[in-house]
Chains A and B, each alone.
Chain A
Amino acid sequence: MVTKRRTIGGVLPILGTLTAALAFLPAPVRAASEYNLPYGVTPISHAVYRLHMLAFWMMCGIGVVVFGLIFYSIVFHRRSRHPVPAKFHENTVLEIVWTIIPFFILVVLAVPAARLLLRMENLRHPQLTVRITGYQWLWRYTYPRYGINVYSRLSNPSLASVHYGRHLSPYAVPHYLRSVTHPMVLPTGEKIRLLVTGGDVIHAWWVPDFGLQVDGNPGLINAMWIKILKPGVYRGACNQICGWGHGYMPVVVVAKPPAQFLAWVRRWRAAHHGPGAGDFTPKPL
């Protein structure tokens, strides 16, 4: 039966493709990856990464068992090898086993997830508060303590490329669609409370390296906290469809050590509130 053989042979490539694709996922590599979650730069993003990898490997394990059984059956229980079908159609013990075992596997995942969630939601004792407001289509970052108000929109080189009729290769634009006019500047090492809201419609503030995103709902405020461990530039984007320019409102955060952050605060105040404004006493928290 040539046709039969061809069918079975055909099952191999698809399972092969799938496992090959799975193997593609790198083991815990910590560099930014084209294929996996970033390890990130906050304690939370590290924990999220570990939870993600735990879940991923557990799913792979279940996959090996389930797909292995299916594959075995496809090969060994096809009619040409197994012409007389068995007759069984129930087995209470087996059915109880495959109800209980998945349940415990899920508990193994749910416990660390719940603990991490409680940690993420612990907003006590922030050292700095920044208000984030999404608009169609830009972000506003307000630092109440320092009287600073930064508007952040897509930078001109990206815009030029996006602009119809002007063709500038996206590869020629530095950080195409992920660069802004004025980035958000934050200190490293401090527990920063983010208060996120929407100015017109719902937006979502997302920086993968920080391990989280927060919806900005008009009229409501969401709170989250981050603690950036490494100075650097971190890029993300709006993640809730908000109209024409949804793809064009990136988030860029520049994280500086506290002293340099304060220097930035002084420069900003001097530039926007007049030369004397650089020296000031921050408002209480």
Chain B
Amino acid sequence: MKLQAETKTKSQPVTKTGADILIESLVEQQVDTIFGYPGGAVLPIYDALYRSDAEFQHILTRHEQGAIHAAEGYARVRRKAGVVLATSGPGATNLVTGIADAMMDSLPLVVLTGQVATTVTGTDAFQEADIMGITTPITKHNYQIQSAYEIPKIIKEAFHIASTGRPGPVVVDIPKDISANPCFETDQSPFHLPGYQPTFNPNPLQIKKLSEAVKQAKKPLILTGAGVLHGAGSETLLEIVEEFKIPVTSTLLGLGAFPGDHELFLGMAGMHGTYTSNMAITDCDLLINVGARFDDRLTGNLEHFAKNAVVAHIDIDPAEIGKNVHTHIPIVSDAGAALKEWKRQMKEGPQDHSAWLEELHYNKQAYPLWFNSPKEEMVAQWAIKTIHDVTKGDPIVTTDVGQHQMWAAQYFQFRKPDRWVTSGGLGTMGFGFPAAIGCQLAKPEERVIALVGDGGFQMTLQELSVLQERNLPVKIVILNNQALGMVRQWQEEFYEERYSESLVACQPDFVKLAEAYSIKGVKIESKADFENQIGELMSSDEPVLVDARVIQQENVFPMVPPGRGINDMVGVKPK
């Protein structure tokens, strides 16, 4: 018997399927986490996962959108490609929002989608969707695998493209027969991408021009974008700023690239930026954009943007330079590399900019951010500030989209990079909570807080199951104003208070909802209770959901009304 069994194992050749090859390729890329959801077209891949003894974990979210936002959060704080796996048709189309979001915010993702078998492609087969066609405009690149032979090479290319240059999502579409069938030979040759050669290092001559411009500037200003984070340039930036005393403002996504509590930090700029930052952009004579893309939420009406300034723009994507704002000193480079070269070259800072620093310092004191704070009831700004104050340990904060997002950007001072995860370019409601799951898995040691609105949370709250299942200690704080707050604010300001479909009094009992998932839920209605409880809640080892009841009528200020220049702000209050 024994002998027979032995011969049997021997005589059976180990035939690998395309799916096995795929898993091996992922292991080779040092993938440690996959976010996914199974279905017909990926059954062979899920079977290979089951059989594989690879080390990585698969996180079963409860909706594909949850999977991809989690992968985005993971990618953002780990600075490495997030991996997503979903089935064909509806599985793949459920990813579309997240793919577009990652494209806008330059997040590296490798998105694996199942596809119907090649034998029925193009016949409107069950669960067939043209995901290549659908995702072409919202991916950095996409592939449909034509044979298992090319899997290793395409996976290598996909990871390379996703995570180098300006990062972005890459979709790899895998027909079911290719993943299911045995595969005897694969292409192990190194990849060759002649059409993809991103510039990494700056042209030193351009940096020289920048250093010259700094020397001459009387009113220099640095604007940081997410490029500083992608390029790991924060330390160099801080060194430059401290040595040459150049003030710093930031985009929404660039927060944390420079310490938020630094005396030379002016706060975020743009639609809900600080008065000091927006006026600094308006008045500066040298604007040094490091890794931001001059998005319209930052610039406001371009006719009034940085009109007095020589503009230097460091960007790894040449297409961003000169796209919206005329640029005098273009520098195509990784932001980190450019900052290093700049620091190496710059011997002298601005010759005479003390008046500028004084002016900005005065503005910071005279026109700070402000909010009304009644005695007992909470406003969201106060709640966010309080969370900031009690979690001095610099947690990772994710947000959803809306008023609470802007308030978090305003009142949570990020001192370190990669602590701030928000959907900027696409403004995707439903992002914040699953993104926090991804962050927690990427950084198990860190404290992760999801600040969400009652509207957005309800878009992806099914992922509470993941917290329950994995006991992930994510802290969810719902800033519950019983409204789609940002919509309500615009209706108040620009539509004569016609609150069309934005006041949502009907909502679930969030505490019971949490409890339904065996998660601790707490409803807090007063400042006193919040102050008493929040510290402990935020430092718990378990997942926690806080339903923080905040006043509905609050608006995000200051604000640049749409179409106006960023110097034209409403809601600025002198101290």
A and B associate: no
